[in-house]
């Protein structure tokens, strides 16, 4: 069994004084060893919340998993103690955030920050010299010259900072790497370089990856599988071929395709479809996408669509129900 991560029927809520936010609603997906899945959707679709649930880094006071299970190599992560989870997180899975400066300490040299993360998980008891060699190796791996390890984060450009963050995330040889919009804060040309680096590292290191993005272009370059999220649900799921070459699609996915910016002429990012994502404290009945869907029919306003399968390609939309 080469399943690395299995998400089963996962729901996540945030409780505020005023309301309950249904951020993720009964989602299912799995990742095999060495596989990359893209979680795609607009801001507020539940992508980051899903990642934080896997890492068990949801905000403690407000966020909680209300339903479902998360298996990592067959072990239910939700049954682990805080301490066991802390160890798992550091040694077997790590996360890269959108803005490199949220992960980097501005007053510590980049070499020291990589070394620290190596020391925390120094299970094979490397000595100082060996740790130093590993710092150099990691910097080289992400395309930074080791002689720069004595420099501070502000001495690096945005793209180089993100490379440092990637080196830190890789320090423990994670089996699962979660990248949350890792290139969104970067210039377009630098984005392409960082993505190419991530694709290369994935090949080299055999790491499985969750790539969170609003951009289907990123998915095409880095992913094996795709899950399209809308209002906390997975509305379409399949291989990259299913999504890019398949005949059937969820209307929301088609909207996302319509919004891929043309990098050559640098068009501003387009909104996929008219209208906004629904208020997660007050989700509409039926299909959550119905207020924005041009194909909406009566049943869509009343009944939540079931998943329909074309092989392993899943689409949750009434258009594909036989009786409609
Ligand atoms: Fe549109 Fe209906 Fe399909 Fe929802 S179920 S995406 S409203 S056609």
Q: Is 317 in the pocket of ligand 1 (CB under 6 A)?
A: yes
Query: Residues 6 or more apart from 42 whose CB is under 8 A from it?
Result: 214, 230, 272, 277
Cα 258 from Cα 243, distance rounded (Å)? 13
**Closest listed residue to residue 240, CA positions, set 260, 218, 259, 219:** 219
> What mean pLDDT is reported for the chain?
90
**Closest listed residue to residue 174, CA positions, set 313, 55, 260, 75:** 55
The CATH number that applies at residue 260 is: 3.40.50.300
Average pLDDT over residues 285-311: 95
| Tens-place pLDDT, residues 218-268 | 898 889 999 999 999 999 999 999 999 988 999 999 988 876 555 454 544
ipTM value > 0.95: yes
Is pLDDT at 119 greater than 90 in this prediction?
no
* pTM to 2 decimal places: 0.90
Q: Is 287 in the pocket of ligand 1 (CB under 6 A)?
A: yes
Ligand 1 centroid from CA 286, angstroms: 9
CB 288 within 8 A of CB 228: no
Least confident of 99-113, 121-135, 224-238: 121-135
Is pLDDT at 148 greater than 90 in this prediction?
yes
Q: Going by DSSP bridges, is the β-strand pair 225-230/307-310 parallel, antiparallel, or unpaired? A: unpaired
- Position 29 scores a pLDDT of 97
Least confident of 49-58, 117-126, 142-151, 235-244: 117-126
pLDDT band at 317 (very low <50, low <70, confident <90, very high): very high
Tell me the CB-side half-sphere exposure of residue 203, using CA atoms within 13 A: 8
Ligand 1 centroid from CA 31, angstroms: 27
Ligand 1 centroid from CA 239, angstroms: 21
Ligand 1 centroid from CA 119, angstroms: 51
Average pLDDT over residues 259-280: 64
Least confident of 23-27, 86-90, 307-311: 86-90
Q: Is 131 in the pocket of ligand 1 (CB under 6 A)?
A: no
Comparison of pLDDT for 322 and 266, the residue scoring more: 322
Residue with CA closest to ligand 1 atom 3? 317
Angle at 97 between CA 85 and CA 232, to 5 degrees: 75
- Position 156 scores a pLDDT of 95
Least confident of 4-8, 13-17, 249-253, 258-262: 258-262
CB 222 within 8 A of CB 211: yes
Is pLDDT at 190 greater than 90 in this prediction?
no
Residue 176's domain comprises 3-320
Comparison of pLDDT for 72 and 124, the residue scoring more: 72
Cα 233 from Cα 278, distance rounded (Å)? 12
- Position 176 scores a pLDDT of 95
* Tally of structural domains, the chain: 1
Cα 252 from Cα 281, distance rounded (Å)? 21
């Amino acid at each position: 069994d080469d399943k690395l991560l299995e998400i089963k029927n996962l729901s996540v809520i945030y409780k505020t004084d005023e309301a309950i936010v249904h951020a993720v609603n009964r989602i299912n997906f799995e990742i095999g060893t060495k596989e990359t899945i893209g979680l795609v959707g607009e801001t507020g679709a539940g992508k980051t919340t899903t990642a934080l649930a896997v890492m068990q880094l949801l905000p403690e006071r407000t966020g909680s998993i209300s339903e479902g299970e998360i298996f990592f190599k067959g072990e239910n992560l939700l049954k682990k103690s805080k301490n066991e989870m802390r160890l798992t997180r550091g040694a077997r899975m790590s996360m890269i955030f959108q803005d490199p400066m949220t992960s980097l300490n501005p007053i510590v040299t980049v070499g020291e920050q990589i070394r620290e993360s190596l020391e925390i998980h120094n299970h094979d008891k490397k000595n100082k010299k060996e740790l130093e060699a590993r710092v150099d190796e990691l910097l080289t791996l992400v395309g930074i010259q080791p002689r720069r390890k004595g420099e501070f984060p502000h001495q690096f450009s945005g793209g180089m900072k993100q490379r440092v963050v990637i080196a830190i995330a890789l320090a423990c040889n994670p089996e699962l790497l979660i990248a949350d919009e890792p290139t969104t804060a970067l210039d377009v040309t630098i984005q392409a370089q960082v993505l190419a680096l991530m694709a290369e590292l994935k090949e080299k290191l055999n790491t499985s990856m969750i790539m969170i993005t609003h951009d289907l272009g990123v998915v095409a370059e880095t992913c094996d599988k795709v899950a399209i999220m809308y209002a906390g649900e997975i509305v379409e799921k399949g291989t990259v071929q299913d999504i890019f070459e398949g005949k059937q699609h969820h209307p929301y996915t088609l909207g996302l395709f319509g919004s891929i910016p043309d990098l050559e002429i640098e068009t501003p990012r387009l909104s996929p479809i008219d209208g906004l994502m629904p208020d997660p404290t007050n989700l509409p009945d039926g299909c959550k996408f119905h207020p924005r869907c041009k194909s909406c029919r009566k049943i869509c306003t009343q009944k939540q669509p079931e998943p329909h399968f074309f092989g392993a390609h899943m689409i949750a939309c009434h258009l594909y129900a036989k009786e409609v």
